[in-house]
């Protein structure tokens, strides 16, 4: 289990205990955190589960796999700290992770 | 007006197999899809990605699955209406009148929504003001390249569409190519060609920049682009083109009086009918307790919805369940028996 903090664009804070093995995207969708669409269901094919990760955490996360950066080209307002939340797998190491959800996914 | 026993919205795998099931039991159908090709997400999002969980098909790509489904429809005469989006579904006594954005009209007792996550639309620029210039001096596809001759064009994106158009338009226009990072995901040959044109001074390249605002009065005059260090550049331009791929939007489906929750349509699990009689939803777009968003589930849902259509399309006949291995009727429809 890890506590993941999702901050929506209206600055609302959603603290969710997410089971290990789920993705950060699934943690949001299963707990009704708004703003993550995940249209393709986690296939790294749509860039609608886009989140911003605070710098200290960004560098701690496992690196992006091939293809994630390509998909981020299509995300709404990508930044250097952008990630696709379907590609971040929750583990104890991620306890305390904070992600910001953009105002729109497209 | 096109009269048909059932209209299928969506030509993805679920829509295609549903068409097969309808024709097999002797019903006619037509299919509408907003994409310019058959196959839905399989062909648009992952044509080359292997799929491993189609029953009895150990491995196939999205494209192979689509081609196999199209082959399976060969015995039947099914009309596809591509590049069209269904805008309106209205009741007319026992029928539904369905209108597309190209003006095609259908009259049918059965509408089967196999729309996945919605219709594919181009992803747009983030500044809201861009809407004012859309289809006048700001585009997400090129219909007539002549309008750009002798003009300045700002092209955004890092994939094949952006690169192909940057290379092509650089022949007769002043091209500024803007992309959010140094790497391009387009084909290697096109990327090299673009870099060669940048060296020759035919294309101005701005990487690590994104659009922040557009300016102009009726016609686009300039755009602001900003990099990760918050430096802003103003570029004079007559046109802007954005190539950020496609996104799925539920679109007009939301206005048809259906019970929609989290972008999916509630159905029963007997007929896959919605709260509206004669409108069904199958595949990723439908929702019921235990729903799995798998292609195989879509096939099952389509098969049952097709049987439900029979009742409304042939109110005076009784549907009889038959196997393709033994039924002369079905074998005739499949062209396997005279």
Counting Cα atoms < 13 Å in the Cβ hemisphere of B11 gives 27
- Whether the predicted pLDDT of B310 surpasses 90: yes
Q: How far apart are CA B279 and CA B302, in angstroms?
A: 12
Residues of B in contact with A80 (CB under 8 A): 228
- For A68-71, the CB contacts below 8 A with 24+ separation are A68/A44, A69/B181, A69/B183, A70/B158, A70/B159, A70/B185, A71/A44, A71/A45, A71/A46, A71/A47
Burial (CB count within 10 angstroms: exposed 0-12, middle 13-18, buried 19+), residue B156: buried
pLDDT, position B46: 84
pLDDT, position B72: 98
Q: Is B50 part of the contact surface with chain A (CB cutoff 8 Å)?
A: no
pLDDT, position A39: 87
pLDDT, position B249: 87
Domain ranges of chain B: 2-121+247-333, 124-244
- Whether the predicted pLDDT of A40 surpasses 90: no
Q: How far apart are CA A61 and CA A33, in angstroms?
A: 21
Tokens linked to B181: 């990072």
Please say whether the beta carbons of B117 and A39 come within 8 A.
yes
pLDDT, position B195: 97
Counting Cα atoms < 13 Å in the Cβ hemisphere of B65 gives 33
Task: Specify the DSSP element, H or E, that contains B301.
Answer: helix B295-313
- Whether the predicted pLDDT of B9 surpasses 90: yes
Q: How far apart are CA B284 and CA B291, in angstroms?
A: 9
Mean pLDDT of B4-28: 98
Tokens linked to B3: 């009269």
Residue (of B98, B81, B102) closest to B37 by Cα position = B81
Alpha-carbon separation of residue B322 from B110, B314, B328 (angstroms) = 22, 17, 9
- Whether the predicted pLDDT of B324 surpasses 90: yes
Calculate what percentage of chain B has a pLDDT beyond 70.
Answer: 100
Fold classification of B2-121+247-333 is FAD/NAD(P)-binding domain (3.50.50)
Residue of A nearest to B183 (CA): A70
Q: How far is B26 from chain A (nearest CA, A)?
A: 34
Sheet with B95-100: strands ordered across: B2-3, B105-108, B95-100, B86-92
Residues of B in contact with A37 (CB under 8 A): 263
Q: Which of A28, A29, A30, A39 should one mutate to test binding to chain B, selecting the residue with the greatest count of B CBs within 10 A?
A: A39
pLDDT tens digits, one per residue of B190-226: 999 999 999 999 999 999 999 999 999 999 999 999 9
Residue (of B161, B244, B175, B173) closest to B210 by Cα position = B244
Mean pLDDT of A68-86: 95
- Which domains, from first to last, does chain A contain? 2-100 (3.10.20.30)
DSSP calls for B1-23? -EE-SEEEE--SHHHHHHHHHHH
DSSP structure class, residue B272: -
| Average pLDDT of chain B, as a whole number | 96
pLDDT, position A17: 97
Confidence tier at B244 by pLDDT (50, 70, 90): very high
Q: Is B206 part of the contact surface with chain A (CB cutoff 8 Å)?
A: no
Counting Cα atoms < 13 Å in the Cβ hemisphere of B37 gives 10
Residues of A in contact with B45 (CB under 8 A): 40, 43, 45-46
- Whether the predicted pLDDT of A41 surpasses 90: no
pLDDT, position B143: 87
- Whether the predicted pLDDT of B94 surpasses 90: yes
pLDDT, position A43: 86
Q: How far apart are CA B122 and CA B100, in angstroms?
A: 18
DSSP calls for A47-65? --SEEEE-HHHHHHSPPPP
Neighbours of B301 (CB within 10 A): 26
Q: Return the SS3 of A13.
A: strand
Q: How far apart are CA B4 and CA B302, in angstroms?
A: 17
Q: Is B228 part of the contact surface with chain A (CB cutoff 8 Å)?
A: yes
Q: How far is A4 from chain B (nearest CA, A)?
A: 22
Please say whether the beta carbons of B298 and B21 come within 8 A.
no
pLDDT tens digits, one per residue of B245-293: 988 889 999 999 999 988 899 999 999 999 999 999 999 999 999 999 9
Mean pLDDT of A68-90: 95
Confidence tier at A55 by pLDDT (50, 70, 90): confident
Residue (of B258, B262, B250, B295) closest to B274 by Cα position = B258
* Fold: same for B2-121+247-333 and B124-244: yes
Q: Look at strands B111-113 and B105-108 and give their pairing.
A: unpaired
pLDDT tens digits, one per residue of B142-197: 989 999 999 999 999 999 999 999 999 999 999 999 999 999 999 999 999 999 99
Across the interface, do A45 and B45 touch by the CB < 8 Å criterion?
A: yes
Among A57-61, B13-17, B119-123, B254-258, the minimum mean pLDDT is found in B119-123
pLDDT tens digits, one per residue of B59-89: 999 999 999 999 999 999 999 999 999 999 9
Q: How far is A103 from chain B (nearest CA, A)?
A: 10
Among A5-14, A64-73, B302-311, the minimum mean pLDDT is found in A64-73
Neighbours of B223 (CB within 10 A): 26
Confidence tier at B330 by pLDDT (50, 70, 90): very high
Confidence tier at A106 by pLDDT (50, 70, 90): confident
Q: Does domain B124-244 have CATH number 3.50.50.60?
A: yes
């Amino acid at each position: 289990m890890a506590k993941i903090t999702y901050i929506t664009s209206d600055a609302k804070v959603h603290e969710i205990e997410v089971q290990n093995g789920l993705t950060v995207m699934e943690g949001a969708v299963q707990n009704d955190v708004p703003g993550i669409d995940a249209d393709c269901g986690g296939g790294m094919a749509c860039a609608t589960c886009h989140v911003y990760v605070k710098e200290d955490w960004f560098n701690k996360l496992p690196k992006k796999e091939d293809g994630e950066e390509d998909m981020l080209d299509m995300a709404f307002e990508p930044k250097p700290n952008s990630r696709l939340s379907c590609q971040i797998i929750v583990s104890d190491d991620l306890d305390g992770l904070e992600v910001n959800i953009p105002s729109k996914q497209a | 007006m096109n009269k048909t026993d059932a209209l299928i919205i969506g030509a993805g795998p679920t829509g295609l197999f549903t068409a097969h099931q309808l024709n097999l039991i002797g019903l006619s159908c037509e299919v509408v899809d907003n994409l310019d090709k058959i196959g839905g997400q399989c062909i648009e999002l992952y044509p080359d990605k292997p799929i491993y969980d189609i029953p009895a098909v150990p491995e196939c790509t999205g494209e192979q699955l689509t081609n196999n489904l199209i082959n399976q429809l060969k015995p039947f005469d099914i009309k596809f209406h591509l590049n069209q989006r269904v805008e309106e579904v209205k009741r007319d006594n026992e029928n539904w009148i369905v209108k597309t954005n190209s003006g095609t009209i259908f009259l049918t007792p059965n509408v089967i929504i196999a729309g996945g996550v919605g219709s594919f639309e181009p992803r747009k620029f983030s500044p809201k003001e861009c809407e004012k210039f859309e289809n006048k001096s700001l585009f997400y596809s090129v219909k007539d390249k002549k309008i750009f001759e002798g003009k300045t064009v700002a092209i955004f994106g890092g994939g094949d569409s952006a690169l192909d158009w940057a290379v092509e338009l650089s022949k007769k226009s002043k091209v500024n190519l803007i992309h959010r990072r140094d790497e391009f995901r387009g084909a290697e040959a096109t990327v090299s060609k673009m870099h060669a044109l940048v060296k020759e001074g035919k294309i101005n390249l701005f990487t690590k920049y994104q659009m922040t605002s557009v300016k102009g009065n009726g016609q686009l005059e300039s755009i602001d682009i900003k990099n990760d260090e918050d430096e802003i550049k103003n570029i004079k331009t007559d046109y802007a083109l954005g190539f950020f791929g496609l996104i799925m939007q539920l679109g007009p489906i939301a206005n048809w009086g259906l019970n929609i929750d989290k972008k999916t349509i509630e159905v029963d699990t007997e007929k896959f009918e919605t709260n509206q009689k004669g409108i069904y939803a199958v595949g990723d777009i439908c929702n019921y307790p235990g729903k799995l968003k798998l292609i195989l589930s879509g096939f099952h849902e389509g098969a049952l919805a097709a049987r439900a259509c029979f009742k409304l399309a042939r109110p005076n006949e009784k549907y009889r369940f038959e196997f393709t291995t033994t039924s002369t009727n079905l074998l005739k429809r499949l062209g396997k028996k005279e």
